[in-house]
C-alpha cells in the first residue's frame, strides 16, 4: 500500500452536491484489478476511476472505470470528472485544442468549452428491442403503450434500452419496480421533452417535490437553466437503482434522437431531478465537413457531451 493523490468530484453541475459524484485516484499504478474493484465497492459511488500512464502514445492519460459491481469500458461522467481532476492536478495535454483520454473503449477526445468540458461521443450501435422485452420493461416502469413514442437498444460501450416518452412530466412521475428491472438485466434510460414555455415551471416543481421528500435542501442555481429534455437512468442490474446524471446515456440518447429528428442539434438535458439533484448536460451535434464520407452518406455529425465539474474533496488515499 502507498499514499496516492485523490479527489472526489461532482460532475454535470456548477455547484457542489447537485450533480453526480465521482471518486478519482490520480495514481493507479501498481494496483491490480482486485484492489481497484475493492476500493470501488468501498466508495459505494456509481463510479470510481483510476488514472494511469497511457499505453497509446497519442493519449494524455489512461483511465480505468469501476462501478461497485464491475469495470466499464466507457462512461461519460467519469470521463469528464477524471479529466477535470487530472487538469486540476497539473496534467498538461499534448495538444492545446483537446485532451485525449484512453480507456477500454479506445481513445476519447475531450475539449474545453469555456467553463465546461465536453467529450466526443463514441460510435453508437443501435437496434430495435423485441416486443417482449419492451412490454416487460414498460410494465416494470408502470408505462402504458401510449406513453412510449420510440424505443432503441443503444450501445456505445455501456448498453441501455432507450425509451422516448410522451413528455417530461411522464418521465418525472415514474416509480419503477427496480427488482423487476434487475431481473430483466437491462439498464433503462428514459427521456421526454419539456414544452418550451413550461420547462422552468416543471423543473422547479419537481425540485420542490424532491426537496420535500428528502428534507430541507438549498435551492440550486441550476433551476434557472431551462432544460429541453428530462432524462432518468435506471441501472439496477449493476447495483444502481437510479443514476443521478449519466454521460454515456445522454450521449447515446442524443445520437439517436438527433439522427431521427426527435431533438434539435443543440439542446440541454436535465437529469437527477427526482433525486434532489440538478444535473445539466449540454448536447451538440456538429455538421460534417463538406465532402466527408459522413456528409455524403449518413449525414450524422460528431455529438459532443458537455458539463461542468467541481471538486468537493482534495486529499490522499492509502491503497
Q: Which residues are catalytic?
A: 47
- C-alpha grid cell for residue 57? 502514445
- For 34, other C-beta atoms within 10 Å of its C-beta total 8
Distance CA 171, CA 112 (A): 31
The neighbouring-strand residues paired with 162 are 152, 189
| C-alpha of 174 from chain center | 19
Q: Which of 228, 233, 256, 244 is nearest to 129 (CA)?
A: 256
- For 264, other C-beta atoms within 10 Å of its C-beta total 12
Q: Which of 175, 230, 164 is nearest to 200 (CA)?
A: 230
Per-residue b or e along 81-98, where b marks 16 or more CB atoms closer than 10 Å to that residue's CB: bbbbbbbeeebebeeeeb
Please enumerate in sequence order all residues whose Cβ is within 8 A of that of 52, keeping only pairs 6 or more positions apart, or say none.
28, 29, 61, 62, 63, 64
Amino acid at each position: 500500500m502507498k499514499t496516492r493523490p485523490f479527489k472526489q468530484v461532482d460532475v454535470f453541475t456548477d455547484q457542489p452536491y447537485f450533480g453526480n459524484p465521482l471518486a478519482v485516484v490520480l495514481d493507479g499504478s501498481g494496483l491490480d484489478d482486485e484492489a481497484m474493484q475493492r476500493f470501488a465497492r468501498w466508495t459505494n459511488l456509481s463510479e470510481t476511476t483510476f488514472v494511469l500512464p497511457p499505453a497509446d502514445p497519442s493519449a494524455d492519460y489512461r483511465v480505468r472505470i469501476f462501478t461497485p459491481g464491475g469495470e466499464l469500458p466507457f462512461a461519460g461522467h467519469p470521463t469528464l470528472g477524471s479529466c477535470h481532476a487530472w487538469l486540476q492536478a497539473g496534467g498538461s495535454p499534448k495538444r492545446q485544442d483537446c485532451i485525449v483520454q484512453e480507456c477500454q473503449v479506445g481513445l476519447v477526445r475531450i475539449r474545453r468549452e469555456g467553463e465546461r468540458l465536453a467529450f466526443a461521443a463514441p460510435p453508437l450501435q443501435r437496434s430495435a428491442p423485441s416486443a417482449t422485452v419492451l412490454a416487460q420493461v414498460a410494465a416494470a416502469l408502470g408505462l402504458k403503450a401510449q406513453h412510449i413514442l420510440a424505443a432503441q437498444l443503444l450501445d456505445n460501450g455501456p448498453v441501455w434500452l432507450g425509451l422516448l416518452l410522451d413528455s417530461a412530466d411522464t418521465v418525472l412521475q415514474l416509480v419503477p419496480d427496480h427488482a423487476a428491472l434487475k431481473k430483466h438485466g437491462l439498464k433503462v434510460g428514459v427521456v421526454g421533452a419539456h414544452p418550451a414555455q413550461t420547462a422552468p415551471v416543471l423543473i422547479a416543481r419537481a425540485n420542490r417535490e424532491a426537496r420535500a421528500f428528502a428534507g430541507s435542501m438549498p435551492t440550486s442555481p441550476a433551476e434557472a437553466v431551462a432544460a429541453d429534455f428530462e432524462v432518468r437512468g435506471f441501472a439496477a442490474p449493476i447495483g444502481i437503482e437510479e443514476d443521478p446524471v449519466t454521460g454515456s446515456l445522454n450521449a447515446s440518447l442524443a445520437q439517436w434522437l438527433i439522427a431521427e429528428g426527435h431533438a434539435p442539434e443543440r439542446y440541454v438535458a436535465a437529469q437527477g431531478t427526482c433525486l434532489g439533484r440538478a444535473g445539466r448536460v449540454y448536447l451538440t451535434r456538429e455538421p460534417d465537413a463538406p465532402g466527408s464520407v459522413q456528409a455524403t452518406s449518413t449525414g450524422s455529425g460528431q455529438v459532443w457531451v458537455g458539463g461542468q465539474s467541481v471538486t468537493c474533496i482534495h486529499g490522499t488515499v492509502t491503497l
